[in-house]
Amino acid sequence: MNESFEGIVLFKRPYRDLDALVKIFTQNYGTKMFFVKALNKPNHSLNSHTLPLTKHSYIGTINQDSLSFLKEANTLNMYRQVQMDPVIQAYAVYASQLVDAACPDNEPRPEIYQLLSETLNKLDQHIAPEIIIAYIELRLLPEFGTYFNFEHCLYCQTIQGPFDMSIRQMGLLCPRHYHQDSHRMQTDPNAIYILQHLQRLSLEDIQNVSLSPQLLAEIRRLMDAIYDEYVGLRLKSKSYLNQLTKMEQEINKLKNSREKSNKEKAVEKDKTQDEEN
């Protein structure tokens, strides 16, 4: 029986000759694997509707325990910037793999579907990708069975910072209780403040924020520590994203130092001209 449903393409892979398997996060049926006959033939009618990280409304057959099938589709969003910008795409691939890892197949998870859909919207508009990724990581923690306390000090429940973070004890320590964990993160309290804030916000509310690269790196360090310790995923998309962002930082550093040395040269030149005059 044909049904109509909405979905976001997670990935596709070749399967026997020209056929393909396409994994789609459907809004109402959860993540599911679809079989598409001869998809790898040029000009297949579902070509653009099976491109990873795009959103469509489909008509097809949904099977609970075996492969499902696609018949036709209508595009809802191609997320052009996500497709075109390699750095933004790396963020989006990581987000989609994280969601895929968090959701058991064939289980309806409309709120996580909404989360991925909104994440792609934000990334497509180039809105604070580092913050968007930290947001989705925070939001998915309970899906991986981890409850981190960002509300108050683990020992005295005070909401007065400046807080530090204990990975081992899964929460915050106030200055009077820093000593409870000799391996505490020694973090910038502003990074914790931002994570606390993100926990209370809805993704729609996040707009472009200008945070220093140091603060963004600190937020990354905290989220990585939590994920390494309690989630333990080894996603290729994550190491690729790390490489890309490191490269971006190096390029920015180079740019800055070149601008600085150009400025110095200009000052030098002004000086010699002044002296000559």
Site membership for Zn ion, residue 156 (CB under 5 A): yes
Site membership for Zn ion, residue 178 (CB under 5 A): no
Least distance (Å) from Zn ion to the CB of residue 101? Answer: 34
Site membership for Zn ion, residue 240 (CB under 5 A): no
- Among the listed ranges 20-28, 49-57, 173-181, 220-228, the one in contact with Zn ion (CB under 5 A) is 173-181
Q: Which is nearer to Zn ion, 108 or 175 (CB)?
A: 175
For residue 103, with 0-12 CB atoms within 10 Å meaning exposed, 13-18 middle and 19 or more buried, which class applies? buried
Among 11, 15, 69, 155, binds Zn ion (CB under 5 A): 155
Q: Any idea how long the chain is?
A: 277
Q: Which is nearer to Zn ion, 144 or 178 (CB)?
A: 178
Q: Which of residues 124-153 bind Zn ion (CB under 5 A)?
A: 153
Among 55, 177, 184, 238, binds Zn ion (CB under 5 A): 177
Residues 6+ apart with CB under 8 A from 266: none
Q: Which of residues 46-75 bind Zn ion (CB under 5 A)?
A: none
Sheet with 164-166: list strands edge to edge.
149-153, 171-173, 164-166
Q: Are the C-beta atoms of residues 29 and 62 closer than 8 Å to each other?
A: yes
Number of residues that bind Zn ion (CB under 5 A): 6
**Chain positions contacting Zn ion, by CB under 5 A:** 153, 155-156, 174, 176-177
